[in-house]
Amino acid sequence: MGQKVNPISFRLGITETWRSRWYADKKTFGGLLVADQKIRQYIRERYQFAGIPRIDIERTSGEARLTLHCARPGVVIGRKGQEVEQLRADLEEISGCTIHIDIKEVPHPETSAALIGQAIAEQLKKRASFRRVMKKAAETTMQVGALGVKIELAGRLGGSEMRRRERTVIGMIPLHTLDAMIDYAFTKCVTTYGTIGVKVWVYKGEQPSGGTPRAPTQQATPARGAS
């Protein structure tokens, strides 16, 4: 099953947490779910160059607290916090409830699957060579400290007549290991000759029961001829 489902949802409650955390009855669940989707879509469209890989939403009675994980938080905050206040007012109008916004900086943007996918999509729109883009992105991620990365593109690559799929893998991606901290993201790249799907997996190590990430242990192999 590790290769058949989303790696994030596969590890919920183990190494990952829910992106939306609230409870509602059957009458209000649908409306709150749609409101969450509108909030995320509005933020990503308005701040597409701020590098926002993740948006967490926590709801209480009549209030919602948003946590924006940003690679460039200054773009969202603005001068003297004016931009974030305008964002809060716009979101309150969309959702109809009180909004509180927290902004956290992404410590290593080069290992974020969503940001890697966005960077690849931007380069593909500029008609860059897809093989060169995939290879460079994977090598940069490994140099920063990732233990494995896999990038997969699907669509009319290079403007070809037939749709095809290309993949680049460096290191290891243990999809069946539930303790493995694997970041995954899917990004759509809309070009003049069609839509290209960009999938990115990044392996950051294993997380033990204590909650601290650790590198995978490798068993020593005996020397040739040893008993």
7-105 in CATH: which number? Answer: 3.30.300.20
Q: Where are the domain boundaries for CATH 3.30.300.20 in the chain?
A: 7-105
CATH architecture of 109-206: 2-Layer Sandwich (3.30)
Q: Alpha carbon of 79 to those of 37, 50, 90: distances in Å? A: 28, 15, 18
Report residues of the chain scoring pLDDT below 70: 1-3, 208-227
In the chain, the amino acid numbered 163 is: R
- pLDDT for res 61: 84
Q: How many CB atoms lie within 10 A of CB 19?
A: 14
State pLDDT tens for residues 201-225. Answer: 999 999 865 454 555 444 433 444 4
Tokens of residue 186, six digits: 């899917």
Closest C-alpha among 205, 185, 183, 202 to residue 16: 183
Give the CA count within 13 Å in the CB-facing half-sphere of 132: 6
Contact 62, 78 (CB under 8 A): no
Which pLDDT does position 49 carry in this prediction? Answer: 86
* CA 175/CA 2 separation, integer angstroms: 5
Residue ranges of alpha helices (H) inside 71-175 are 73-77, 82-95, 113-125, 130-144
Contact predicate 157/164, CB 8 Å: yes
Q: Are 202 and 168 in contact (CB under 8 A)?
A: no
State pTM to two decimals. 0.84
List where CATH 3.30.1140.32 sits in the chain.
109-206
